Structure 1
Amino acid sequence: MEYDLNSGSHSVYSLDYHLILVVKYRRSVLNDERTELLRRATEQVSESYDVGIKDMEHDEDHVHILFGASPTTEIIKYINVLKSATARRINEEYGEEYKDRLWGGTFWSPSYCLISTGQVSLDKLKEYVEQQGVV
């Protein structure tokens, strides 16, 4: 089994995540232009948290972000700062266009979906672990 690994001073790791952020009330306000602004803001926040954005795509009411992190990354803090910073940028630039559908200056739903990803399936990993120690 081969992994694409990163390393720190005392660790070797592969930590990749799939984050889904949903627009408040699932309003259809995202488009390519707005997502490009979100992408730039996301990259700025990510640099300060040593998070690498691998991919980012959107639908009209939600965005998918694939990112890699280190074991020392405070994931919850990163997500909260990311949501705040991107909402602020979107509201500054486009808030007037959708204020009748997203009132109160809130852009993102308070919830999010975070899924850890792997380079192999869970079934394959379980099989590999179960085979350890079997002679």
Structure 2
Amino acid sequence: MKYNLDKGCHAVYNLRFHYVACVKYRRKVLTPEISGFLKQVNLSVAEKFGVQIIEQETDWDHIHILFASKPQVQLSKFINSLKSVSARLIFRKFPEVKKQLWGGHFWSPSYFMATVGEVKLEDVKRYVQSQGDQEL
């Protein structure tokens, strides 16, 4: 198996995630201007967490982010920061958005996140199982 590996002081790892968040009520508010601003905010938040955003793109009502993380990062805190900081700054810079999103919430409370691997699950299972075949 060949991985693109990241290294820390005491660990070698490969942690990649796909994250999707939807605008509250699926409102189509992510105009090109707001989308560009959102992406810059996300890069700033990610930098503070030591997270690398590999790719991010929006549609009118949701965003996809592919990112690499360190093992020390608490993913729930990172995601909560992405959502809260971006919502606060978007409402501040684009006050007209508040008219479409009442209640002070920009993002839906739920989101999707999955790990992204460089090998298939079946390949890893076979590799792990093969480790018991060796004689001591």
Specify the TM-score bucket, using the shorter chain as the normaliser.
over 0.9
Distance 1:99 1:48 in 2: 27
| Residue 16 (structure 1) shift | 0.6
State percent identity of aligned pairs.
Answer: 45
| Residue 100 (structure 1) shift | 3.1
Show the counterpart of 1:9.
Answer: 9
Show the counterpart of 2:109.
Answer: 110
- For structure 1, which runs of at least 5 residues remain unmatched after alignment? none
Q: How many residues align?
A: 134
1:18-97 matched pairs, under 5 angstroms? 18-96=18-96
| Residue 99 (structure 1) shift | 2.9
| Residue 33 (structure 1) shift | 1.8
Q: Are the counterparts in 2 of residues 37 and 89 from structure 1 also a CA contact under 8 Å?
A: no
In structure 1, give the amino acid aligned to 2:50.
D
Residues 36-76 of structure 1, C-alpha deviations (whole Å, 9 max, x = no match): 10111001111110000000011111100010110101111
Secondary structure at the aligned position of 2:133 is classed as: coil
| Residue 112 (structure 1) shift | 1.1
| Residue 133 (structure 1) shift | 2.5
Q: Are the counterparts in 2 of residues 18 and 114 from structure 1 also a CA contact under 8 Å?
A: yes
- For structure 2, which runs of at least 5 residues remain unmatched after alignment? none
| Residue 78 (structure 1) shift | 0.8
TM-score of the aligned structures, taking structure 2 as reference length? 0.92
Secondary structure at the aligned position of 1:17 is classed as: strand
